[in-house]
Structure 1
Amino acid sequence: MSIRAKLAWTFILLLIFGITAISSYSILFIRNYLLNEGEEQILNDTEWLAITIQNLQSDEQFETNLNEAARTSGYRISIYDGDGILFASVPYYEEANEDTKLEQNRQNSLENSGIVLLENEPDSDDLVAYMAISGGNNPARYIRVSINKDQIYEPIRTIRWIIYTGMFISMGLVILVSVLFSRSISKPIIQLESAARDIADGNVNRTLKLDRKDEFGTLAKSLNQMAERLRADNETLKAMYEKQRQFFADITHEIRNPLHTISGSLEMLQLKNLSDEKKERYIETAARQTGRINQLFKDLMTLQRYDSDSYFIEKKPFDIQLILDDIEELYKNRAAKKGLQFEVDKQSVSVYADPNKIEQVLENLVSNAVKYTNEGFIKVSIEEFDDHLSVEVSDSGIGISENHLSRLFDRFYRTDKARSRDKGGTGLGLAVVKSILTAHKTEIKVKSTPGKGSAFWFTLQKPT
């Protein structure tokens, strides 16, 4: 059974049961109310009839006057004498339904109480009242007044018809309203279910248009947000997949080239009558390519640790001058061979970072500066602030075009692939720099002008 049918039947049954219960209770309440009113009325009328009969003359008009009193009041009246014997009963056309003689106990009760005694037996069709009559102009000493309960309940027939008619009309309206209401309630639920199923099946482009201000509208908005988030996640996953595919393709390419070079050098070394000069050159080429492969895997290990190791860096206070001394010692001869002015601004400043990783950052930056600077200078400068230190590596090299700057720190990205490989690079140096500095919660920044040089800088926190 659909949710629409369930809602409709639920509302219909609940409302029908409610209307039926209210109608039944109303009829029962009115019935009891009429009976109570009838009891009170017969008590008052019995006193009035007793006084009236007490004053009637005992002549040929007695029964006529008695019958007129019965007709006027609407009751059946029975008169008993002092011995409790029935001697008059009106109206005449009705069958007698009373005792021809009052029991002695009843006579005594009436004499002693002096009030009207009401008799309402549940299994009796009549409501009966008795009263003693004081001496008067006739032999009447006791009066019995009765009325059929159906006469008392007579108004309820009209009321019942009105209630039942209203009840059936209400039921019809309830059924109509329930069907319309269930449709109104179930329609957004069906739309939400359809949208959720489509999204679950992968149709993340599904947009649910449900302009409501209630919980259904909120749920529709949430589903649209979820679909939008899934679309964004899918785009991210596609980009990651493409990036990963390109990453492995680049690794394969980066390894294949030096392996081919090494293989070619080994083949040449196997030739007979090869001069010592050529042997030395081929050995040097193979060693250089082996170092390139070794550096490639070293950079890959660094990046892998950054991606998966929460203890990628181990910060501690240290003097940055120690690292700058090592950098100067490592690269001053290389710079001198190219005729470059190499200047290191050394200051004894304590910073809070991983010394090994910061040294690796400076090695990569200075190494790139040496590779891509043919004349002029390379400078490592330091600027100290209250709570941090700024380190900058600048050069007068070939520079970088602006269109390359946004992807400069991507893995295996090269501004000039052929030239970069000639320089012996792996394409991972700047990606390693960015990963290390990101782990330190700082950024590597760059500014460059083609033909005039480049500058890379970053900041490090001082110990607190």
Structure 2
Amino acid sequence: MSIRSKLAWTFILLLIFGITSISSYSIVFIRDYLLEEGREEMEQDTRWLAITVANLADGENLDKRLASAAKTSGYKLAVYDSAGMLLEAYSNNDSTFAPNQRLTAGILESLEARKDLPLLPVDEQSETLTSYIAIPSSNSSAHYLLASQLKDQIYAPIKTIRWIIYYGMFISIGLVVMVSLWISRYLTKPITQIKNAAQDIADGNVDRQIDIKRSDEFGTLADALNQMASKLRADTLQIKQFAEKQRQFFADITHEIRNPLHTISGALEMLQLPNLDPGKEEKYIRSARRQTDRISHLFKHLKTLQRYDSDEYFVEKQEFDLSPITKHMEELYGDRAKKKGINLVLDQHSCTVIGDPPKIEQVIDNLVTNALKYTNEGTVRVQYDSDGEEVDISIEDDGIGISEEHINRLFDRFYRTDKARSRDKGGTGLGLAVVKSIIDGHGAEIKVESEVGEGTRFSFTLPKG
């Protein structure tokens, strides 16, 4: 059973129960009220009848006058003598009226004690309402009067009232049914909309929007689901982009490993040839070693990137001096720069910064390597200058430069501005991605300025130690 049906039936049953309960209580209350009013009216009428009967004389006149009084009042009357014996009775042809031939001693005692006050015994089981009274100063032998009427005479108005209540009850129930159906529809309509939208979202339709303009909990829930769907759209797009990057990442790794492996395999095959010239043998050995180093650098960079993606303690900051790093760069690349005819200028004054020394050295190493690789003549400079609370570190060259179209993707993994040329130079396409991950891990930003044919400048800042 749907929520709408449950709500409708709940409202209908509760309201029907309430209406019938109130109606039944009203009927019982009116019935008791009419009976009480009838008793009070009968008590007054009995006093009036007692006075009327007191003025009657014995004989035929008593019978006629008693009948006249009974017809006038609408009561069935009977009179008793001083001993409580029945004298006359008038039933108005009502066979159900059968007064006692003699009053009981208890009734007589009560009437004598009450004098002119009527006695109305309470008998819930009886179908009649009876009143006794002592007749004051009677001119006849009649000393006691009995007046009686059927309770149905008192309850007569209740029949009309009952039907009025029943009609009202049926009309009310009809209205309740219609109102309950409308209310249940009004309350469950947003629930149905939200349920359908949630089902669509669960089925993958994250573009679904719930259009419920309400200021109650339903409106709040709809807004929350719309926000969830919006976040799911963003997350889905991000997952798709991540999956595409992941796919491209594995394709690039496969390609990067396959090429050097082919080169190594070819070199090994050539080394197996008989009577190979010593010069060519050395050439193939160098080629295999160079490709082995390339694979080693590739996995070294991948390890760095993996730690950046998963290790919250990727960067361990401390105070350190930059001058030992630049001196180490001179030891590593001084001879290479001279062989290419490049002037390697390294700032070597003492400067303390806060960062991760091995990783900052790796950044500078990667940037210097790139600068030397893509500079055919001119100067490669490594400088660091204190600027207030920060130290600006830059690596600048007079190399071939980078066109503007490549700047935005320069730090993407495996991205190369010239893939064929980069592979020929032994690059992995991960060096700048590693640089960016390390600088991001320090909470800084790597900046690049370049012009084709003029050179390139990479820079970043670290807090001053």
TM-score in terms of structure 1 length: 0.92
Q: Which amino acid aligns with 2:451?
A: T
Q: Is the 8 A contact 1:71 1:91 kept in 2?
A: no
Q: Is the 8 A contact 1:31 1:156 kept in 2?
A: yes
* Cross-structure match for 1:258: 260
Q: Which moved more, 1:234-243 or 1:145-154?
A: 234-243
1:168-216: CA deviation from partner (whole Å, max 9, x where unpaired): 1222222233333333334433333333333323333444444444433
Q: Which moved more, 1:146-155 or 1:393-402?
A: 393-402
SS in 2 for 1:137: coil
- Rounded to whole Å, the distance in 1 between the matches of 2:64 and 2:441 is 121
* Cross-structure match for 2:241: 239
Q: Which moved more, 1:350-359 or 1:229-238?
A: 229-238
* Cross-structure match for 2:40: 40
Q: For 1:13-412, what aligned pairs fall within 5 Å after superposition?
A: 13-58=13-58, 60-95=60-95, 96-114=97-115, 115-412=117-414
Shift of residue 57 of structure 1?
Answer: 4.5
- Rounded to whole Å, the distance in 2 between the matches of 1:345 and 1:354 is 19
- Rounded to whole Å, the distance in 2 between the matches of 1:455 and 1:426 is 21
Q: Which moved more, 1:341-350 or 1:168-177?
A: 341-350
Shift of residue 162 of structure 1?
Answer: 0.5
- Rounded to whole Å, the distance in 2 between the matches of 1:92 and 1:36 is 25
- Rounded to whole Å, the distance in 1 between the matches of 2:286 and 2:106 is 144
Q: Is the 8 A contact 1:120 1:126 kept in 2?
A: no
- Rounded to whole Å, the distance in 2 between the matches of 1:126 and 1:278 is 139
SS in 1 for 2:89: strand
Shift of residue 385 of structure 1?
Answer: 3.9
Shift of residue 357 of structure 1?
Answer: 0.8
- Rounded to whole Å, the distance in 1 between the matches of 2:381 and 2:46 is 128
Shift of residue 462 of structure 1?
Answer: 4.0
Q: Which amino acid aligns with 2:269?
A: E
Shift of residue 59 of structure 1?
Answer: 6.4
- Rounded to whole Å, the distance in 2 between the matches of 1:69 and 1:461 is 121
SS in 1 for 2:457: strand
- Rounded to whole Å, the distance in 2 between the matches of 1:399 and 1:32 is 108
1:244-276: CA deviation from partner (whole Å, max 9, x where unpaired): 111111111111222222222233333344333
Shift of residue 298 of structure 1?
Answer: 0.9
Q: Structure 2 vs 1, CA of residues 347 and 58 (structure 1 numbering), >3 Å: closer, same or farther?
A: farther
- Rounded to whole Å, the distance in 2 between the matches of 1:440 and 1:353 is 7
* Cross-structure match for 1:430: 432
Shift of residue 166 of structure 1?
Answer: 1.2
Q: Is the 8 A contact 2:386 2:464 kept in 1?
A: no
Structure 1: where are the runs of 5+ without partners?
none
User: Which 4+ stretches in 1 moved above 6 angstroms?
Assistant: none
SS in 2 for 1:285: helix
Q: Is the 8 A contact 2:323 2:347 kept in 1?
A: no
SS in 2 for 1:457: strand
Q: Which moved more, 1:143-152 or 1:315-324?
A: 315-324
Q: Is the 8 A contact 1:78 1:89 kept in 2?
A: yes
Number of residue pairs matched by the alignment: 463
Shift of residue 374 of structure 1?
Answer: 2.2
SS in 2 for 1:119: coil
TM-score in terms of structure 2 length: 0.92
Q: Structure 2 vs 1, CA of residues 66 and 413 (structure 1 numbering), >3 Å: closer, same or farther?
A: same
SS in 2 for 1:407: coil
SS in 1 for 2:448: strand
* Cross-structure match for 2:11: 11
Q: Which moved more, 1:69-78 or 1:55-64?
A: 55-64
Candidates 448, 458, 461, aligned match of 2:460: 458
Q: Which amino acid aligns with 2:11?
A: F
- Rounded to whole Å, the distance in 2 between the matches of 1:110 and 1:382 is 128
Shift of residue 241 of structure 1?
Answer: 1.6
- Rounded to whole Å, the distance in 2 between the matches of 1:48 and 1:346 is 134
1:114-135: CA deviation from partner (whole Å, max 9, x where unpaired): 2222212011011112222222
Structure 2: where are the runs of 5+ without partners?
none
Q: Which amino acid aligns with 2:113?
A: N
**Percent identical across equivalent pairs?**
58
- Rounded to whole Å, the distance in 2 between the matches of 1:51 and 1:346 is 139
Q: Which amino acid aligns with 1:432?
A: V
- Rounded to whole Å, the distance in 1 between the matches of 2:351 and 2:88 is 134
Q: Which moved more, 1:267-276 or 1:34-43?
A: 267-276
Q: Is the 8 A contact 2:71 2:92 kept in 1?
A: no
CA RMSD of aligned residues (A): 2.3
